């Protein structure tokens, strides 16, 4: 059973004010001694080792708590690092190659795509991913927007497209929309043969293929599975 204790209004979103508000609610509800864990996203305001809300809340309570960071926020950091390793760092507010591809998306022929060329030995990962994602769509788990697009593009690029593919209109390609890194990389690889619309140099193609291979064989399934309630320790919230 879940019970929302409150949604306090803060003058500023500092870790100190967040911790004070949470501690105040727990005190009023006489729950300070019963709290065992914290669920939170991974912003510095929550996780900072000096002034983060989690650290300060533990100090106020006089004991350590189990930290349950949101898996999606943790995985966001993983994808960001993999993108940097594969494609190099970018200090621009927009990712150049993704911005270039977005500009020509209107000329792309969606039915003319090429699946990913996988190396020998990837068959088990490929089949496991496809089976799981197909089940997610069949069970109508209300996946939508970027999440649904990730599932569908993964199935397409692995050679087993769903019955209906929702080719979505281009969205933002700045760093804040972190999933754009993988979604656009997958589209670039899918339509890499349409050189009359978008020309991709070999070095960039190799980098993006490495990123996409990580994404479709390892990341998509893990990301989609993260919030499932049947998985252990998958409870999400926000401080």
Q: β-pairing, 66-69 with 37-40? A: parallel
Average pLDDT over residues 203-214: 94
Higher pLDDT, 137 or 52: 52
Q: Which of 54-58, 176-180, 189-193 has the lowest mean pLDDT?
A: 176-180
CA distance 48 to 56: 9
CA distance 152 to 170: 15
CA distance 151 to 186: 11
φ and ψ at residue 37, rounded to 5 degrees: -150, 160
What is the value of pTM for the model shown? 0.76
Q: Which of 37-41, 58-62, 112-116, 172-176 has the lowest mean pLDDT?
A: 172-176
Greatest Cα-to-Cα distance within the chain, rounded to the nearest angstrom: 67
The tokens of 196 are what? 């009359």
% of residues, the chain, pLDDT over 90 = 52
Q: Is 158 exposed, middle or buried (0-12, 13-18, 19+ CB in 10 A)?
A: buried
């Amino acid at each position: 059973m879940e019970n929302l204790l409150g949604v306090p209004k803060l003058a500023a979103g500092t870790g100190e004010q967040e911790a004070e508000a949470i501690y105040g609610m727990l005190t009023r509800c006489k729950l300070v001694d019963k709290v065992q864990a914290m669920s939170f996203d991974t912003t510095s305001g929550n996780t900072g080792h000096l002034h983060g809300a989690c650290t300060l809340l533990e100090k106020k309570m006089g004991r350590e708590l189990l930290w349950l960071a949101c898996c999606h926020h943790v995985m966001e950091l993983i994808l960001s690092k993999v993108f940097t390793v594969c494609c190099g760092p970018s200090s621009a507010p927009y990712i150049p190659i993704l911005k270039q591809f977005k500009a020509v998306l209107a000329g792309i022929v969606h039915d003319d795509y090429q699946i990913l060329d996988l190396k020998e030995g990837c068959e088990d990962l490929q089949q496991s991913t496809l089976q799981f994602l197909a089940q997610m769509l069949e069970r109508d788990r209300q996946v939508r927007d970027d999440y649904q697009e990730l599932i569908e593009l993964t199935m397409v690029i692995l050679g087993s497209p769903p019955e209906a593919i929702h080719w979505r209109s281009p969205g933002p390609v700045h760093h804040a929309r972190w999933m754009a890194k993988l979604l656009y990389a997958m589209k670039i690889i899918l339509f890499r043969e349409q050189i009359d619309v978008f020309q991709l140099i070999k070095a960039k193609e190799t980098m993006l293929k490495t990123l996409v291979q990580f994404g479709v064989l390892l990341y998509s399934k893990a990301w989609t599975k993260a919030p499932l309630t049947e998985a252990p320790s998958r409870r999400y919230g926000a401080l």
